[in-house]
Structure 1
Amino acid sequence: MVTTPRIWLDGVAATALPLPDRGLDFGDGLFETLLLKQGEPLLVDYHWQRLEAGLLTLQFPDNTLKHARQCLSLACDALHELPWAALRLTITRGTAPRGYAPPAQAAPRVVISAAPLQQDRREPGSPAKVGWADIRWSAQPLLAGLKHANRLEQVLAAGEAQRRGLDEVVVLDQKGDVSSVSAGNLFIVEGDRLRTPALETCGVAGTRRRFVMERLAPALALHCEETHLSPADLERADEIFYCNSLRGLQSVGELGGRAFTHFPVCEALHQRYWELITC
């Protein structure tokens, strides 16, 4: 059984990345983080669709997505014995002459890394302790929604949470509206309604965010809307949760000075999530 991280470069097992590479030089690329159950990537179509949109925006060659699919299939074949695994698929524009300008004939690289996850992902975690971040996301509408390789802001936000002994931090945009947590999308519960921040100028269009909006909310007769949320909206919410591909749905037990003690909607969403995602 695989017990250590595995790495593939363009579908071949590897231990090093050829240099130079524009992904390392400029963050010129995209990535997806997938949850695998016995080698099967969950919600993989959602990942491919987001990746395709990003490749189009960044003007990668037309055959890049097909190549990435082939590489992922090869990696997953080697991971079927693992109950759970975390897999990162990164696409860079590859090598090029010096300078920011992309090469006229790019040769993208697909780098995949995977590692086993010990905990059964279906087990709900303890409610998270969350605070307000000092950092704010930069505004760039062209890149809003994409999971591009420039993650320095997220590194700073996650470091802030770590230093403060928090599980996560809520990050605002440049206008002071709520955007997300450092590594996931955010929802608030108001009665039978779910509300999540719109992604107009920043943030990632998460696969689990989309799943909540398209599948989970309707399954539980909950109305869901994308909107502008203020910090005050979170402070008076009935419940708060955030989501990402590895964690699934995570309820918030504390935000700033407020404690949340009842999670009926979050618990129902968590149960239904795993019923739908693994069927």
Structure 2
Amino acid sequence: MINYNGDLSQTENVNISIENRGFKYGDAIFETIKISNGKVVFFEDHYFRLMASMRMLRMKIPMHFTLEFLEQEILKTIAAQEKSSSFRARLTVYRKDGGLYTPKTNKVDFLIEVSTNTFQTKESYSIDLYKDFYNFSGLLSTIKTNNRMVNTLASIYASENDFDNCVLLNERKGVVEVTNGNIFIIKGKTIKTPAITEGCIKGIVRKKVIDIIEKHPDFNIEETVISPFEIQKADEVFITNAIIGIQPITRYRKKEFSKEVSSKLQGSLKLLEITGK
């Protein structure tokens, strides 16, 4: 079942107009959200990121687009699915049909897609650099728009070369993120992640992990510029996203990594998912 502007329909009955701006211009943003045991995980964070993104893209936020309304729409869509304890939802918001580059209106439609969450962390996980195209730094790169061509091409490169993922670089050849999440490197007692100014997505789990590390007595966190050379010199590397949480990296080129710290952080993150504290 698909939730289109609050109405539930069978997937095959939902038709998108050829004037759809998300299709024609990528004029859309989305949130990928985890639902576990009937709870929409970290939804307040997703909601405020969505609102900030809509304002940045000059989309008109409907009066009824409250946190409670969108959360209930997600849960309503889940209730229409086959029973499962874990789901993933994609909430897409896009400007209404019409116009060329200049839209006819800034009013929006929304679409909620839900599927059973079968993603789990992998014991072995290898990455490489993607260097064909850059993910340019700047505020627009920090929000989740439908313009994900670099991520798509990097994912194809990873698949063709038997990697699990690829690291994206910005125009200064600094590390930005991976195709589907943020990246962290551990060296000694310091944990680094690319600063938002490097062009990375303002990841929900990225922020949660930073909060966890800031409270940890044994580590310090730096949001900074990271070179690809630092990945190879790291003790551990892990990536984060809203669905998996934390995925340890076990191999980058000829370097193999441990995953002791990232596994402990994953435990802290799962506790936060359950308790919210």
- The verdict on a shared fold, with TM-score over 0.5 as the criterion, is yes
Rounded to whole Å, the distance in 2 between the matches of 1:36 and 1:219 is 27
Aligned to 2:28: 29
Report runs of 4+ in structure 1 exceeding 4 Å deviation.
none
Name the amino acid aligned to 1:16: V
Quickly say closer, same or farther: Cα 1:12–1:71, change in 2 above 3 A: farther
Greater alpha carbon shift after TM alignment, 85-94 vs 196-205: 196-205
Of 61-70 and 46-55, more deviation after overlay is shown by 61-70
- Partner residue of 1:190 out of 187, 196, 202: 187
Inter-partner Cα distance in structure 2 for 1:167 and 1:217: 29
| Higher deviation after alignment, 47-56 or 213-222 | 213-222
- 1:167: Cα distance to partner? 0.6
The answer as to whether partners of 2:135 and 2:169 remain within 8 angstroms in 1 is: no
User: Where does residue 102 of structure 1 map in the other structure?
Assistant: 103
Deviations 1:9-63 (A, max 9, x none): 0111133134121111101011000011123211111111211111111011132
User: 2:70, 2:102 → 1: CA distance?
Assistant: 27
Change (3 A) 1:201 1:226: closer
> Which residue number corresponds to residue 168 of structure 1?
165
Q: Give the superposed CA RMSD.
A: 2.0
- Is the contact between residue 38 and residue 79 of structure 1 (CA under 8 Å) also seen in structure 2? no
1:115-139 superposed Cα distances (whole Å, 9 cap, x missing partner) = 01246x5xx4313111111333332
The verdict on how the C-alpha distance between 1:57 and 1:173 changes in structure 2, with shifts beyond 3 A counting, is same
Q: After TM superposition, list the pairs within 5 Å mapping 1:139-178 onto structure 2.
A: 139-178=136-175
Q: Structure 2 matches for 1:1-279, cutoff 5 A?
A: 6-14=1-9, 15-19=13-17, 20-63=19-62, 66=65, 70-79=69-78, 81-97=83-99, 99-103=100-104, 105-118=105-118, 124-219=121-216, 221-260=218-257, 262-279=258-275
> Does the CA contact (< 8 Å) of 1:71 and 1:110 recur in 2?
no
Contact 2:213/2:220 (8 A) holds in 1: no
Query: SS of the counterpart of 1:273?
Result: helix
Residues 135 and 220 (structure 1), Cα distance of their counterparts in 2 relative to 1, 3 Å cut: farther
Q: Residues 88-143 of structure 1, C-alpha deviation per residue, up to 9 Å, x if partnerless?
A: 0000001123x10122x333110110001246x5xx43131111113333325130
Residue 33 of structure 1 aligns to a residue whose secondary structure is: strand
TM-score normalised by structure 1 residue count = 0.89
Distance 1:22 1:65, change over 3 A: farther
Q: Deviations over 1:143-193 (max 9, x none)?
A: 031111111111111111111111111111111111111111000012222
SS in 2 for 1:89: strand
User: Paired residues, what number?
Assistant: 268
- Matched-pair identity in %: 23
- Distance change >3 Å, CA 234–CA 201, structure 1 → 2: closer
1:3 alignment partner in structure 2: none
Name the amino acid aligned to 2:102.
A
Flag the 1:59–1:190 CA change in 2: closer, same or farther, 3 A. Answer: same
SS in 2 for 1:24: helix
